[in-house]
Amino acid sequence: MAAVPAAKDKEATTGLIAVFTGNGKGKTTAALGLAFRALGHGQRVCIIQFIKGSWQYGELEAARMFKPLLDFHVMGRGFTWKSDDLEKDKAAAREAWQFTVQTIRDNKHELVILDELTYLAHYQIINEEDMLAVLREKPAAMHIAITGRHASAALIELADLVTEMREIKHPFHNGIKAQKGMEF
């Protein structure tokens, strides 16, 4: 029979790894929901975006209201399928990954969101085993949320929580462009 943890251990934080993946919309939105939840408890949050670039979108504007608890880093050059230079995109992604490794090791945040990280491993911009090693060695109480399509079997196995977003219907297929406040 397993030992019952002491009462003080019941309050200890176990840092979880959450993955939001799949072809449907809502992966970043789910992670941002976690950010708002953590901020509501006075926890420090760091969001690192690997793909999104300088395009103005609502969550970036809202992030300014949550200083100093929220650190928001847009480190990509924009959507890679519209890239003018894939090598620059890859270099920016690698730089963002190095920043991420240091952020995790510095252990100054209760929640770190790695938005669109899955693409870096999927397209072999960073070595997946290196990525998994950093996640395995994260501080014990730190929560990490990872978003993006193509989450690997190894990442899914490592994670404590995995949600797959599945597209059933999307307005884009009816010629409706992204709407302010709904998609950006």
Residues involved in catalysis: 23, 25, 27-29, 37, 79, 81, 116
First to last CA, the chain: 51
27: Cβ contacts below 8 Å, ≥ 6 apart:
20, 21, 147, 148, 149, 165
Beta bridge partners of 73: 48
HSE, CB side, 13 Å, CA atoms: give it for residue 50. 27
What is the C-alpha to C-alpha distance for residues 174 and 176, in angstroms, rounded to an integer?
Answer: 6
CA atoms lying within 13 Å on the CB side of residue 13 = 13
